[in-house]
Chains A and B, each alone.
Chain A
Amino acid sequence: MPTDHPEYVHPSMPGEADRLVAEAVESIHAAEGRVVVGPWLGEVGFEVLYWIPFLHWLFEQHGIEPERVTVVSRGGVEPWYHGLCDRYVEIFDSLTPEEFRRATLELWAQTGGLQKQVKVRSWDEQVLDATVGPAWRDRALLHPQLMYRLFRNVWQAALPMRDFLDRALHRPWVAPEPDGIDLPPEFAAVRFYFRDSFPDTPANRALVARVIEQLAERGPVVLLNTGVVVDEHEDAEPADDPRVLRPLAGVEPSRNLAVQSAVVARARVFAGTYGGLAHLAPFYGVPTVGFASSPQEINPVHLALARRTAGVYETSLAVVDGAGFDLLASGAAAA
């Protein structure tokens, strides 16, 4: 999608961002504050790095009270929206992960791989019908398209990062309870999967094994792999090892992200593929090592913002390859 596409705020359109925000706020006030936020159908990274901080800014800046706000997302992420809504509606209470994944992949095929919710499509409406019911049509809809329209050209380097930072607030995140999950007193949380920036190669599989081995030498490792698959990413499954725990295997899809959050929030460190959970862990103040063997596949704006966000929550985010990890793990860096 070209950056000068009329749907996106562009540098040549001064005041356009404010106009889009004003329209959204006006529609919420016109509905007397009754608003459905979502449905969030995309990646964890965009949700935590951009969507939720933007919602905090929007609500606080424009006096939108959470009492009449309904959030629609998936994986039991209600705690992520703490302070933003009175009601959370879980997508996987109404749709199975298989249905969700099939529809998502079909949509990507139809849109030529465009994964982002840049407009309200029939799939969004189907999800809202299935989760909130027809009542959503009587309320204002705060759809992720607003975020994509506002910030797409920040991600394309055509607008300064300030355009996002001026419309984001980073509030404390409340760690969910790990209900029914037994955790060691101290542990490292780990989640590896393969993606373009960390492809499925023998070298990366060996790196995963090496990282887990080094962490396990110090203490228990808790794998966050749940077996729930809702996108194109394939988990890296390490070999069985008594020091490596898998308490989340088989967890219900409707709370899979909530329990991963609960575990991450209590970890000494998070290590895993640079992506969604590596973005999430710093919000809980957890030192994080994200792995990327092909960093040219990462949008550098996300990298820079993730670094800045980790600083806000007074923790550290390193995005490394095997050589960088060896430096950190050996202690040679601080020396």
Chain B
Amino acid sequence: MKRLARSVYSRAAGSAALRRIRTHPRVRALARRHVHVLLGPGTTWANVDSALRLLGEDGARPVAFGPWAGDRLTEVLYWEPFVRWAREHFSLRTPEPGDAGAAVFPSAPVRTLVEAYRRGDDAPRPLLKRARYAGNPLGHAPAAVVPWSERAVESVLAGASTIAVCGAAVEPDLDLAQRVAAELGIPLTILDSAGLERLEGALR
């Protein structure tokens, strides 16, 4: 039933008559109260966008995100940049202490879409369109060698030329980290410990 409602709502954008109904303030308010319908199983990035747009139309109501159920690496690499983008793009108000009645945007739909990328099924572009990585505006931190973890991503975001030493890892995570680093203009090298020793041995 929820999928049907989501489908009808989404497809209404494609018809001039239904679009008029869809954009009526009372319909928007109703949809906003049931935004979770857009974010159920089978959510697409377009559904995520629609939900955020609805929430953004009520400027009086703050929006809380999360909590993120994944590990800290995926939080830094995927979730935090998504939340930053969502807040900026849709002008969403952050809840203040004591704010009552904040809307909650759950992390599960985004996590499902992130996992499709991490399995190698989806392209990175939809993620990248919905992410803002906060680089270091003050310049570059000293070069660093860190284990492949959230520390490697944080090192890049701090502006440090970074060598990340990794063991087992999800390859698309590494691909994305290299993309983020390149776009920020920060060199990021990812090596396993044997590869690092091999390289250092060849240079010294």
Contacts and interface: CB of A to CB of B under 8 A. Distances in A.
B81 interface: no
Interface residues of A, number: 48
Interface residues of B, number: 44
B28 to A, nearest CB: 29
Interface in B28-51: none
A320 to B, nearest CB: 5
Contacts of A324: 143, 161-163, 187, 189
Contacts of B165: 333
B161 A328 contact: no
Interface string A298-335: 10110110011011000111111101101111011110
Interface on chain A toward B: helix, strand, loop, or mixed SS? mixed
B199 interface: yes
Interface in B175-204: 175, 178-179, 181-191, 193, 195-200, 202-204
B176 to A, nearest CB: 9
A269 B202 contact: yes
Interface string A128-170: 0000000000000000000000000100111111100000000
A301 B178 CA distance: 9
Interface of A: 11, 153, 156-162, 188, 214-215, 218, 268-269, 271, 287, 289, 292, 294-296, 298, 300-301, 303-304, 307-308, 310-311, 315-321, 323-324, 326-329, 331-334
Interface of B: 117, 120-125, 128, 140, 142-145, 161-163, 165, 171-172, 174-175, 178-179, 181-191, 193, 195-200, 202-204
Q: Which 10 A-B pairs have the closest CB atoms?
A: A316-B195, A323-B143, A269-B202, A300-B179, A304-B175, A318-B189, A300-B182, A157-B125, A296-B185, A324-B161
